[in-house]
Amino acid sequence: MDEFIKQALDIVKAQASVRTMTEDEIASMVKKISLSIKEISAGSFVESIPEEAPSDIDPKKAIREKSILCLECQKTFKVLTKKHLATHGLTPEEYRSKYGYKKNTPLIAKGLSRDRRKKMQEMQLWKKKTKKV
């Protein structure tokens, strides 16, 4: 017998001993559980669990006032460029999801991103002004 079904059967047997189950219920439960066990041992479940960063550096602390730390190679930059991330085989999106950053987290030093935002705001103000005139 399939090892996965055997394991599933044990689980279902335990379930059946605490509550009344119809044959159909038991059959579909065995099927469902054996499938999950199979998936878990195949590693597909394990992969979806976010891996911990290989270093003990908190990704939140990697983005600092004047620099940003690359969590892949632990080098510091002002801007973590697409080109640099490519050397680790990652896109900025993959990098963000790997280390649990939000999708729109700018991969640049905090101070820089603030400056940039300020400039953007100034530009927008300027746009508004010119629109009104």
Interface ranges with Zn ion (CB under 5 A) = 70, 72-73
Range list of β-strands (E), the chain:
68-69, 76-77
Cβ proximity to Zn ion: between 8 and 70 the closer is: 70
Cβ proximity to Zn ion: between 33 and 70 the closer is: 70
Cβ proximity to Zn ion: between 72 and 109 the closer is: 72
Cα distance between residue 114 and residue 121, in whole Å? 10
In angstroms, give the least distance from the CB of 44 to Zn ion: 28
In angstroms, give the least distance from the CB of 16 to Zn ion: 54
* Residue 12 in tokens: 């279902």
In angstroms, give the least distance from the CB of 130 to Zn ion: 41
In angstroms, give the least distance from the CB of 84 to Zn ion: 6
CA distances from 116 to 10, 37, 78, 119, 126 (A): 60, 50, 13, 5, 15
Cβ proximity to Zn ion: between 15 and 81 the closer is: 81
Cβ proximity to Zn ion: between 34 and 67 the closer is: 67
Q: In the complex, which residue's CB is closest to Zn ion?
A: 70
Cα distance between residue 50 and residue 24, in whole Å? 36
In angstroms, give the least distance from the CB of 55 to Zn ion: 11
Q: Residue 98's closest CA among 64, 71, 69, 68?
A: 71
Q: What angle, rounded to 10 degrees, do the helices at 3-18 and 23-42 form?
A: 130
